[in-house]
Amino acid sequence: MSDFFFMALGGMFAGLLGSVLGLGGGVLIIPMLTLVFGVPMREAIGASLVCVIATSSGAASLYVKKRLCDIRLGMTLELATTLGAIAGGIVAGMMRPQILSILFSALLIYTAVTMFKKKDEVDNTDNLNYTEGSYKTTHLPLGMGASFFAGNVSGLLGVGGGIVKVPVMYLLMRVPLKTAVATSNFMIGVTACAGAFVYFSRGEVHPLVAGSTMLGVFLGATLGSRLLPKIKIEYLKKAFVFILLYLSFEMLFRGLGFHLLF
């Protein structure tokens, strides 16, 4: 039973850190569950998807009420992300867990690189309030294709996929950054829902693993969004890049059959 208590604590830490750093919890939850608690890879992905739904729903309800996200654009792209997530979930069921682990390690490196390059654009330069319809989106078909891929990553590896969706909307479709972030967050819940049920129907959403982690994540993310305006995150971000790189090596070696630390 104490395992689950620590899973909830770990989830809380992941939720807190994730919301402060603007990451979905998935990037942290899967390494935590597999490396620390020895949960099988696919069960960790299932649990992580449930956690992703929880963080997204909490954050999205705020964004939606503040009219920060574009529901129409989000819904349209969700046609592609849900299909992608289902495909990803099915493919994950056919893959060896080791391969998933190696792919996840690549995703962690990508996340680390993105974090290293990213400045705090969202908080500083993009303070204009955009409302739906005040900008024109471009490249919708290409955006849909990229969204399918984002959904795929989400369903295959158990993350929200915001790291793919935000650049797609911002750089490709010319959506204002703040709106892109909020809309991505809004979409993540539905995308993860599609993927989560694929794992659920295979019996890979373990009630206690998923339940305790999700409760922790939910509490942590709620706490984090309150703390967010009060803390300086520049140094935290730099430090976090190293943590991500470390986790990436650990997941890679685990996939190849070695154990580094745990």
Partner 1 sequence: MEDKKEKVYSYVGTVLLIGSFCAAGLLILGLGILFFQAHPRDYLAGLVLFSFSNLISSLLKGEPVAIINLGILVMMLTPFLRVVVAGFSFLAERDFRYAAICFGVMVILLFTIVPSFV
Q: Please report, as ranges, the residues that interact with partner 1 according to CB under 8 A.
A: 1, 3-5, 8, 43, 50, 53-54, 56-58, 60-62, 64-65, 67, 71-72, 75-76, 78-79, 82-83, 86, 89, 189-190, 192-194, 196-198, 200-201, 203-212, 214-215, 218-219
Of residues 69 and 108, the one with the C-beta less far from partner 1:
69
Give me the least distance between CB of 57 and partner 1, in Å please.
4
Q: Kindly state the tokens that stand for 190.
A: 């539905």
Give me the least distance between CB of 241 and partner 1, in Å please.
30
Of residues 163 and 194, the one with the C-beta less far from partner 1:
194
Contact 11, 51 (CB under 8 A): yes
Give me the least distance between CB of 115 and partner 1, in Å please.
26
What separation in angstroms does the CA of 168 have from each of 65, 148, 176?
Answer: 24, 11, 11
Give me the least distance between CB of 207 and partner 1, in Å please.
5
User: CA-to-CA distance for 257 and 262, rounded, in angstroms?
Assistant: 13
Of residues 115 and 198, the one with the C-beta less far from partner 1:
198
Give me the least distance between CB of 62 and partner 1, in Å please.
8
Of residues 43 and 115, the one with the C-beta less far from partner 1:
43
Give me the least distance between CB of 142 and partner 1, in Å please.
18
Give me the least distance between CB of 59 and partner 1, in Å please.
9
Residue 22, Ramachandran bin (φ over 0: left; ψ between -120 and 50: alpha; else beta):
left
Q: Kindly state the tokens that stand for 17.
A: 């850190």
